[in-house]
Structure 1
Amino acid sequence: MIELTGLTRRYGRTTAVDDLTLTVHPGHVTGFLGPNGAGKSTTLRMVLGLTTPTSGTATVGGVRFRDLPRGLRHAGALLDAGDVHGGRSARAHLAALARGNGIGVARVDEVLGQVGLDRAATRRIGGYSLGMRQRLGIAGALLGDPPVLLFDEPFNGLDPEGVRWVRGLFRQLAAEGRTVFVSSHLMGEMEHCADRLVVIGRGRLIAEESLAEFAARAGQTEVVVRTPDPTVLVAALTTAGATVRSVADDALAVTGVTGERIADLALELRLPLYQLTTRTASLEEAFMALTAADVEYATGEDR
């Protein structure tokens, strides 16, 4: 379990993390989301003792990470796949981590096989692709078989097979009862692998809830309709209190009435319907709606 209590980090007049209090529970893949500059990486660094909080606490299993002996046995992390010595082999890199944390050398080959790098174990890391370095970083996180795992942008550089593998790995680790905390900008991947979300903006907590609860925050359910005579249907829907807008393929997006009510109106008007689809907000739409005020670098379209 990861617990943050009043966690704050200031750099001069800039507050990177602002009084953050939350709990990341075991048995779940928890996605960690926020716009650029929201404070996600700073938060992860404070959990791991790499950045000192200005105030507040961050604990792993009730203890500050820096106070834990042989830290990789308690928490494993991938923060930067490029933060490795390019002249070493993958096996040598992991063996050094293992020695420093009292982990048997046999575990090195186990995790190399687990992440699919066993055949490249003796190659210099400098010749690895970004995807291979991501796999090596994940191997390092798994090395101590820890109950808590943190990953920052773990999908970067992975091919489709690698992305699918990582999704399955995270779900498996959570099913084993571990705490899995994953920061990513890839909304589609979070939608596929996370079952809970923590969302921050400008260092402050915006949401801490299930994926379904977060998506429901984005607004009303929308019904997409296609008919050969949209003008007549729009007039009837507006009279019934609906809000209607045009979307692609000559369809109408309707909010404020149910799909059943739309079907009844079309029947009364003797209008055929070519499409009647109920659509809920995607994770990306919910995220954009709820963090719009916290985007540090907005384009003209986003302002």
Structure 2
Amino acid sequence: MIELHEVTKRYGAATAVHRLTLTVRPGHVTGFLGPNGAGKSTTLRLILGLHRPTSGTVTVDGRPFRERSRGLRHVGALLDAADVHGGRTARAHLRALAASNRIPRARVDAVLGDVGLTSAARRRIGGFSLGMKQRLGIAAALLGDPPVLLFDEPFNGLDPEGVRWVRGLFRRLAAEGRTVFVSSHLMSEMAHTADHFVVIGRGKLIAEQSLAEFAARGARAGVAVRTPDPVALTSLLTAQGGAVRPEGDALAVTGLTAAQVGELACAHRVPLHELLTRTASLEEAFMELTADSVDYPAGGPR
């Protein structure tokens, strides 16, 4: 479990994280979302003890991570797949990490096999593609078989097979009871990977909720309905507090459930040709939720 309580991090006059309180629980893949500059990378570095908070507390399973002498046995992390010594082979890189953390050498070949790099174990990392470096970074995170795992943009550079593999890996790790915390800008992948979300903007917590709760925030969440008598149906729905707007040959309704729309139409003999509940996409919900936290929107000031 990862816990942050009233954490603030300042760099001179700039505040990267402001009074952030959140809990990342085991048994879930928790997606960590936010616009560029929101403080996500700083938060991950605070969890790993790479930066010290200006105020507040950060603990992993009840203790600051810096207090753990063999860190990879407690937390595995991938922050920057390119930040490795290009002159080493994949096996040599992992063996050095294993030795410094007193991890059995047998784990090296085991995790190379887990990530599909057995055939590349003797190749120098400098010749690896970005996708191969991502796999190596994941192998390093898994090396100590830790209960807590952090990943920053783990899908970058992966082909479709690799993306599907990572998605399944994260779900399996969570199903084993581990804490899995994943930061990514790929909203479509987060929708298929995470079951819980933490969203920050300008260093502050915006939302902490399940996938279903998060997606339901979008303005397009509601009911879509088609009828040969849109005027009559619009009048009925607005009288009951619903908001109705035309959308092509259908009506988009918010404020009422599909069941309520259907019952009103039936009671007043208004025929319906189509009635369905519609949820917003994760991307729509994210854009709406973080609209006030984007420092550099495309197109300039609005």
AA partner of residue 286 (structure 1) = A
Distance (whole Å) between structure 2 residues aligned to residue 175 and residue 102 of structure 1: 26
CA contact (8 A) 1:2 1:60 kept: yes
- 1:81 Cα deviation (Å)? 0.8
- 1:214 Cα deviation (Å)? 2.6
SS at match of 2:246: strand
Q: What's 1:293 paired with?
A: 292
AA partner of residue 200 (structure 1) = I
Distance (whole Å) between structure 2 residues aligned to residue 197 and residue 116 of structure 1: 29
Distance (whole Å) between structure 2 residues aligned to residue 17 and residue 286 of structure 1: 23
Alignment of 1:25-64 (within 5 A): 25-64=25-64
Query: Is 1:136 aligned to residue 130 of structure 2?
Result: no
Q: What's 1:153 paired with?
A: 153
Identical aligned pairs, as a percentage?
A: 72
Query: Is 1:190 aligned to residue 190 of structure 2?
Result: yes
SS at match of 1:192: helix
Aligned CA distance change for structure 1 residues 218 and 302 (closer, same or farther; 3 Å): farther
255-264 or 126-135: which moved more? 255-264
Q: What's 1:281 paired with?
A: 280
AA partner of residue 53 (structure 1) = P
- 1:271 Cα deviation (Å)? 6.2
SS at match of 2:290: helix
AA partner of residue 28 (structure 2) = H
CA contact (8 A) 2:242 2:256 kept: yes
Q: How many aligned residue pairs are there?
A: 302
Q: What's 1:104 paired with?
A: 104
SS at match of 2:99: helix
For structure 1, list consecutive stretches of 5 or more residues without a partner in the other structure.
none
Alignment of 1:13-28 (within 5 A): 13-28=13-28
Aligned CA distance change for structure 1 residues 302 and 188 (closer, same or farther; 3 Å): farther
Aligned CA distance change for structure 1 residues 227 and 116 (closer, same or farther; 3 Å): same
CA contact (8 A) 1:292 1:302 kept: no
Aligned CA distance change for structure 1 residues 23 and 263 (closer, same or farther; 3 Å): closer
List structure 1 runs of 4+ shifted beyond 6 angstroms. Answer: 268-271
- 1:241 Cα deviation (Å)? 4.2
Once the two structures are superposed, residues 175-230 of structure 1 have per-residue CA deviations (whole angstroms, 9 ceiling, x without a partner) of: 11111111111222222221222111111112222222333344584111234564
Q: What's 1:168 paired with?
A: 168
Aligned CA distance change for structure 1 residues 104 and 268 (closer, same or farther; 3 Å): closer
AA partner of residue 258 (structure 1) = T
Q: What's 1:9 paired with?
A: 9
Q: TM-score, normalised by structure 1?
A: 0.90
Q: TM-score, normalised by structure 2?
A: 0.91
Once the two structures are superposed, residues 37-62 of structure 1 have per-residue CA deviations (whole angstroms, 9 ceiling, x without a partner) of: 11000010111111222222212222
Aligned CA distance change for structure 1 residues 230 and 129 (closer, same or farther; 3 Å): farther
265-274 or 199-208: which moved more? 265-274
Alignment of 1:213-232 (within 5 A): 213-218=213-218, 221-228=221-228, 230=230
159-168 or 263-272: which moved more? 263-272
Distance (whole Å) between structure 1 residues aligned to residue 48 and residue 295 of structure 2: 25
- 1:10 Cα deviation (Å)? 0.7
Q: What's 1:259 paired with?
A: 258
SS at match of 1:131: helix
AA partner of residue 253 (structure 2) = V
Distance (whole Å) between structure 1 residues aligned to residue 259 and residue 17 of structure 2: 46
